[in-house]
Amino acid sequence: MYKTAAEAAQFVEGYAAGLSEWVIPTVIFAPFTAIPAVAEACRRTVVPRQRLAYGAQNFYYEAAGAFTGEVSADQLLEHGCRYVLCGHSERRHVFGESDELIGKKVGRAVEKDLVPVFCIGETLPERQSGKLTDVLTRQIEEGLSKISARELGKVVVAYEPVWAIGTGVVATPEQAEEAHGFVRKLLVGAFGKSAARVPILYGGSVNPENISSLVSRPGIDGALVGGASLKVESLLALHDACVKAAKAKGETV
């Protein structure tokens, strides 16, 4: 819940202007009220659409109806959204969204050709009590229950340990790599070999100082960034660190 429409548009323009020639794909998840302004700002940039896109922080799975305060997939598509967050930790733990509800959102997003960024992750008590794998298994099984193996290719997964979000505490690269490896194993086991290509992002107090140590690890394909993405300079620093890590891995962008 940051930035007016004008502030969001200025942010996108500043970010696009500061990008290097080699651009890591970036998605801006704007508040609903700022989406039209962000869309227009993205259209004005010279950055290719597949490299600078935008999406929504949430939506509801029904097509229409008496759901006061909610937004549908069609309403997002009308403004050119290509992505939507599903199951972000704050939606789960502040607003009480269930695994079942999140699964319906993921299924609806895929049906409407929106790319769901499907968020999963454990709380501190769950990790401390040894329930990490149980939590991730449940979240993945229920959250992806509405899609097929073919449709999984339209999904991005984001592992965000709740205990590391907004706390300044970040999972160690080893912890993150271990969790990502387990998630990958679950996906391949449930959907087949093609699941090896599904991007898995890390989220949780990511900043320009720690991003390199995270995205350089095997199996960590990018980052879902919160507070550190609110300033143009910080997001550009994150982007440049990801470029260096990708080059070090021998990847092409």
- At residue 90, φ and ψ (nearest 5 deg) are -70, -35
Residue 102 gets which letter from DSSP? H
CA distances from 243 to 151, 173, 222, 227 (A): 29, 18, 10, 20
How long, in residues, is the chain?
253
- What is the side-by-side strand order in the sheet with 200-202? 26-30, 52-56, 83-86, 115-120, 156-159, 200-202
List the catalytic residues.
88, 160
In whole angstroms, what separates CA 248 from the centre of its chain?
23
